[in-house]
Amino acid sequence: MSFAISNLKEFMEPDSHLYRHLTERADQIPDYEGFGPPDCCYLIKEQKGGFMKSSQKWGSFHYVYGVDCSSSASIAVYINTLINNIESEGWYKKSHKITKAIFCIFDIVLKRDVRVEISIPGGTHVYAVNQENEKQAITAVHEPQWNFVFVSSILRSIEPKRSDHIKIVAELDTKELFQDFLVVATNLYKNGYGKKFGDVMDRVKDGSSMLLHKIAEYLISKRRITECIDFISPFAEKDPLLISMICDALFTVDKLKEAITLLAHKIKEFPMLASLLLKQAQAFLKYEYYEFALKISKILVDLCPESFECWLVLAESYFHERKFKNALIAIDVAPSYEDINDELVLPDLTKYARTNPKTQNSTDIYPEMMVKPENPDYKFTENNYEAKVLQGLEKANNRKLNSCDMKAYDLLVKIEKEISWEQLLKLKGETFLSEGDEADGWENPYLNADYTKQGTSAPKGVNESFYAIQKSANMFLKEKNKYEDEDDEEEAKHEIHGQIIEEENVEETKQTEPIDAAGDRRKTRTRANNEILNTANVEDAPVTFASLPSEAEGEGEEEEVNISKEEVIKERRKKRLATKIDKLFLMLYEDLNLLITWENEEKKKAEEQAPDAFNYNGIVWVHRGKLAERISRKRLAEKAYRNAIERGFSLYTWYRLLDIYSETYNPKACLVCVAEILDQADDDGIEKFTKLPYWIESVVYHLVAVNGLKAIVKLTKEMELEDCRALTNSLVRAQYWGIEGSNS
């Protein structure tokens, strides 16, 4: 049996099948989608024999994200750490050897597997293998081909795929390595290799190749906003489409005025770039300039009718103008495309036995914690009534929708919350044909022509529309100073967060703690955590509109909802509702029925004063939480998830609570969630965190960006979380990287 390596579960191959897995990996090269499979480390292990026993040889392998692949030397460093962690003692330590290591990195650009073969002792041999399993020579690792390998590996590690058998280590963990990565990525992009790493699905939405998009996305998630802007800005001077990425960074820290102003200048210069117009419309929606957003979105759907995002921003603009019929029609007209299939493709691993190391105290051995949880992790119920309730919830929660349909559904939910289900059905009947009617002679009320080629000979009407956009941009720039004297929402938000923390610290008391009080502190903290969550205010996000009709207006609202001849459709030319939207209406109907069942149970419990009635298993409450989130009932979602965690620990449930509290700007409740997750990890024997899971780290960095590092450190001490080393280390890393808010 193969000897083990501490904190690493490997798959094993016997001597008779050595290298079989590497052959299977090469055979699957045509099937790899997106950024391809994670890096694979294949080891040849040997146990020397003696007088009574012959030598034995095995193959073992594991998948890994985040290893420094900047050179073959850096890969050799990783192999050396594995050798140092071999689990064997005494004489066996001398007899257990790793004689060869083959580290495999999939090259996204050239679609081949690059392999670094290290003989121990001996030299290093670098070569590539194509899908026919033919070797291709790589003469020197300093050639541009190695840069493809380095960048490919990093892009995969930025957002690792979920799997219970992939090791995840800290990627780009030093400033020097990150700067090397940026230099290599910059040179590749300038030399025309940017799109070789994958093109975005919707260029109107994202505006560039996947290489820059992923790097910007990574920096934004780490709240390194200034670094992101400094990296993208030089490229944006030559490619104005990249301005949209800078705006995404500004949106993250609520710098909407800066984003709008930047876009206004560029739109004056490039009025026909749909990506900039889309980003400006989104900025106006966030800043509640609904009139401007509507004007731009109307031109967008003429310019790029094939883009779902353009139709969505039009529908949202109509929603905020309280023109709900128009919003429904925009959703109906919007195209839809399937999401990119980026599922992890690996050879069948079920046929392999695995090593079982004695030492299992690191996150290296628990990769499921390092990646964002996707599914509830409670046991299923055996109670018949519970099972029936659970069946309906699972059916609703397991529907398969692409991202376009999900966004359309979210808007449908917002309309229902504003006007009620009955009014929504009434609007549907007034706007669309019933099953038996004919849609004779219907014309798209928004779409005049397809000008997606964006040629210079656009018709006069379109040129006039772009002139109007330039005029709007000028108007905004001229009037900007008038708005700068108003109360700045962004500053007010930051002040509020600061006040919350300061007020909570007014009654802070100092106490001397015994040296061995870690266990007592955990118990005290658990009680305090429950109190914090009990007082957490989770409210559904308020929806604002361009204008709200008064009660005295009577029929005014109905008149405003009606569709004008110029903007939409004549009554005699109603359009049949598309099948996908019909399904969304049916989906909303089923979800609301499940919600009503839940509410009726709560009423019955209150009326009969029976708090233990309908005392469901945790899995039922988790699914009810998912239902409540989908139909935008955050308070109910929080209640359901709280009920679930009372029935036992669930990583998925704490992840959802963490996300809810982060969205509602509740720093104390967020830290409670982080502490509970880390405490459970400690109970499970996890002593070493190679890195804080990125889905937790992003929330911690968000808290720092909003409240300032000093405030979060102070709050951590107040809540007695200093023993959560992974949390405190992440705050140290926040200062090291200079993220937004780390200087305040």
What is the per-residue DSSP string for 438-484?
Answer: --TT---SS-----TT--TT--HHHHHHHHHHHHHHHHHHHHHHHHH
Q: What per-residue string of b and e applies to 532-542 under the rule 16 or more CB within 10 Å gives b?
A: bbeebebeeee
More confident residue, 698 or 49: 698
Give residue 583's pLDDT. 86
5-37 pLDDT per residue, tens: 999 999 999 888 899 999 999 999 998 888 889
pLDDT band, residue 186 (cuts 50/70/90): very high
The pLDDT value given to residue 469: 57
| Tokens coding 500 | 């919350």
312 or 465: whose pLDDT is higher?
Answer: 312
Count of residues for the chain?
744
Does the pLDDT at position 509 exceed 70? no
CB 533 within 8 A of CB 672: yes
State residue 439 phi and psi, 5-degree precision. Answer: -100, 65
Instruction: Count each helix (H run) and each strand (E run) in the chain, helices first.
Output: 30, 11
Q: Which of 160-174, 385-399, 409-423, 460-474 has the highest mean pLDDT?
A: 409-423
**Nearest C-alpha neighbor of 480 from the set 258, 634, 638:** 258
pLDDT digits 0-9 by tens, 573-600: 556 666 678 889 999 999 999 999 999 9
CA distances from 707 to 251, 492, 494, 544, 662 (A): 17, 12, 6, 25, 12
Write the burial class of residue 440 (CB in 10 Å: 0-12 exposed, 13-18 middle, 19+ buried): exposed
pLDDT for res 363: 86
Pick from 183-187, 198-202, 360-364, 491-495: least confident: 491-495
List, in sequence order, the alpha helices (H) in 116-167.
144-158
Environment class of 51 (CB within 10 Å of its CB; exposed 0-12, middle 13-18, buried 19+) = exposed
Q: What's the average model confidence in pLDDT over 679-689? A: 90
The mean pLDDT of 645-660, rounded to a whole number, is 94
| Superfamily of chain region 176-335 | Tetratricopeptide repeat domain (1.25.40.10)
C-alpha 715/C-alpha 712 separation (Å) is: 5
Give Cα separations from 644 to 362, 662, 666 (angstroms): 27, 19, 20
Contact between 290 and 297 (Cβ < 8 Å):
no
* Residue 731 confidence (pLDDT): 94
421/430 Cα distance (integer angstroms): 14
Q: How confident is the model at residue 475 (pLDDT cuts 50, 70, 90)?
A: low
Residue with token string 């280390």:
729
- Locate the DSSP E strands across 120-260: 124-129, 135-137, 166-168
For the chain, the domains span 11-170, 176-335
- Partners of residue 124 on adjacent β-strands: 118
Residue 257, CA atoms < 13 Å, CB-side half-sphere: 14
Bridge-partner residues for 45, per DSSP?
58, 98
Distance between CA atoms of residues 309 and 335, nearest Å: 9
Burial of 432 (0-12, 13-18, 19+ CB in 10 A): buried
CA–CA dist 558, 322 (Å, integer):
10
Residue 338 pLDDT more than 60? Answer: yes
| Rounded to 5°, angle at Cα 346 from 340 and 352 | 160
CB-based contact 511:521 (threshold 8 Å)? no
Contacts of 667 (CB under 8 A, 6+ apart): 497, 500, 501, 703, 706, 707, 711, 712, 715
Q: Which of 211-225, 331-345, 681-695 has the highest mean pLDDT?
A: 211-225
Q: How far is CA 514 from the centre of its chain?
A: 42
Would you state the pLDDT for residue 445? 52
Which pLDDT does position 456 carry in this prediction? Answer: 36
Rounded CA separation 579/432 (Å) = 12
pLDDT given at position 523: 64
pTM: 0.83
The predicted model gives 305-319 an average pLDDT of 94
> For position 548, what pLDDT does the model report?
47
Question: Among 227-231, 243-247, 382-386, whose mean pLDDT is lowest?
Answer: 382-386
pLDDT recorded at residue 51: 55
